[in-house]
Amino acid sequence: MSRLVVLGAGISGHTAAAFAKRWLGADHEVVVVSPLPHYNWIPSNIWVGVGLMKPKKVIVPLAPVYRRNGIIFKQARALSIHPEGAEGEKNPFVKIEWTEEGKIGTIENVSYDYLINATGPRLKFEATPGLGPDKFTSSVCAEDHAFETSKKVDEMTERMRRGERQRIIVGTGHGTCTCQGAAFEYIVNLEFELRKRGVRDKAEILWLSNEYELGDFGMNGLHLKRGGYITPSKIFTESLFAERGIDWIKRAHVTEIHEDGLHYKTLDGGEGEEGFDFAMLIPPFSGVGLKAFDKAGKDITDKLFMKNGFLKVDANYEAKPFEEWKASDWPRTYQSPVYKNLFAVGIAFAPPHAISKPRKAVDGTPISPTPPRTGMPSATIGKAVARSVVEMIKGESDVPKHHASMAEMGAACVASAGANPFTGTAASMTVFPIIPDFEKYPEYGRDLRYTTGEIGLAGHWIKILLHHMFLYKAKMRPGWFLIPE
């Protein structure tokens, strides 16, 4: 009997564990290690953050789901990977610290034959002084963050109903942030909700972002085939904001936040200050801080991980100018080049380079988005890696045969722009491939037949359908595996 250990139960980790157990059956063990007792369908945190859903609507308790499907669950935080074992531990293992009530702080070594790192990101609120829900800004990165944010929105609404004007800032809280899409979705939902509550005229709303142009989304922007015309995402996004009376500041790095305002610098060397009554700013991400040690106990973290804490996989990490980066630099199997039974999926793998052109301010401060690796790509990668590992466990292959390169993969995104069954809208976008391939598509880097964008009520209904479908899938209900990633 072999044992597969999956670190993390987010979109990529939960997907990998669920499919691996389905394909392995009772002959082998699948163990999931995650510090939280539940799965969070993060895309719907946006709706929690504007008060349209309660947190219980976007989470799934993991223990009963895994127990019902024969997956071993350990509510714990992974501390270190020991890929060669150690004195007294001949097999590779992961050192974990339990976070489950009654076991908090207990240390355990969990042996493995194969390991999938799906730990996701650490939210680096400390990167900007004053950033974060325990400081002066709100967040929708977790369901509890989003719920607290919704309370602040309610309080702000009451002030506006009393006739007070409110200044709102939404966007990125640091020059190296990713997940501009989540902030974009939040700002248009918040604007819609304020209109629905009848207080929009009392709100001044500002978008503040590290994007070079609006609609960059960490993907260097895209060109959309829409209504027979090719439209840059810059125009698409600017139009959405202009129609909704949302102002914007781009190419910005927030340097400091205080109780009622923030300071920022821009790529051109400028500096500015903006006051606010409410701010929701996304933090930058890093790896969760996993360490690695060899059999003798020597620290080999730098051998397995990049400096940002993400695991090195089968990508080309050679440093070279932006103009020389290629789609083929991106990983396909997500296998560690050092230990063949070690993989990383979702946000946990180290991208070889940015997708958007890296830029720095005149003083050297980086101000450009880092690559997004969430949602549909994360799930697709998790499933592909699970299939490869299963075949290796069963002795059907010595190497991972299933590929999920983001440079060979398309993605669909439905971004809510206002939740209402009759007047709501959503921006529905498809992109192929995710990583621009200028060798194959020299003009735009992508195939415009499959890179499209529309906004309308139909998109809102699709968003609702996806919410229910993917929560059903997360619960591993009958037929869950038939729902595509």
The whole-number average pLDDT for the span 358-370 is 96
Beta strands in 8-119 (DSSP E): 29-34, 38-40, 59-61, 72-82, 93-98, 107-111, 114-117
Does the structure show a pLDDT above 90 at 40?
yes
- Say what the pTM is: 0.96
Q: 168-222, pLDDT tens digit by residue?
A: 999 999 999 998 999 999 999 999 999 999 999 999 999 999 999 999 999 999 8
Work out the pLDDT band at 415, boundaries 50, 70, 90.
confident
Domains of the chain: 3-123+286-393 (3.50.50.60)
Cα–Cα distance measured from residue 219 to residue 24, given in angstroms and rounded to the nearest whole number: 36
Work out the pLDDT band at 423, boundaries 50, 70, 90.
confident
Give one DSSP letter per residue of 34-55, joined into a string.
ESSSEEE-GGGHHHHHTTSS-G
pLDDT value, residue 129 = 98
pLDDT value, residue 414 = 84
Cα–Cα distance measured from residue 443 to residue 455, given in angstroms and rounded to the nearest whole number: 25
Q: Kindly report the CA angle at 61 between 343 and 92, in degrees rounded to 5?
A: 30
Q: Which of 131-135, 222-226, 265-269 has the lowest mean pLDDT?
A: 222-226
Q: 246-302, pLDDT tens digit by residue?
A: 999 999 999 999 999 999 999 999 999 999 999 999 999 999 999 999 999 999 999
pLDDT value, residue 454 = 82
In this structure, are residues 418 and 189 in contact, taking their beta carbons and an 8 Å threshold? yes
- Output the furthest CA–CA distance in the chain (Å, rounded): 70
Q: 315-325, pLDDT tens digit by residue?
A: 999 999 999 99
| 407 C-beta neighbours (distance < 10 Å), count | 18
Quote the tokens at residue 91.
């097999």
pLDDT value, residue 482 = 96
Per-residue b/e over 184-209, b at no fewer than 16 CB within 10 Å? bbbbbbbbbbbbbbebbebbebbbbb
Closest CA to 29 of 345, 390, 331: 390
Closest CA to 12 of 397, 328, 334, 286: 334
Q: 338-354, pLDDT tens digit by residue?
A: 999 999 999 999 999 99
The whole-number average pLDDT for the span 43-50 is 96
Query: What 3-state DSSP class applies to 471?
Result: helix
pLDDT value, residue 89 = 84
pLDDT value, residue 312 = 98
Give one DSSP letter per residue of 258-276, joined into a string.
ETTEEEEEETTS-EEEEE-
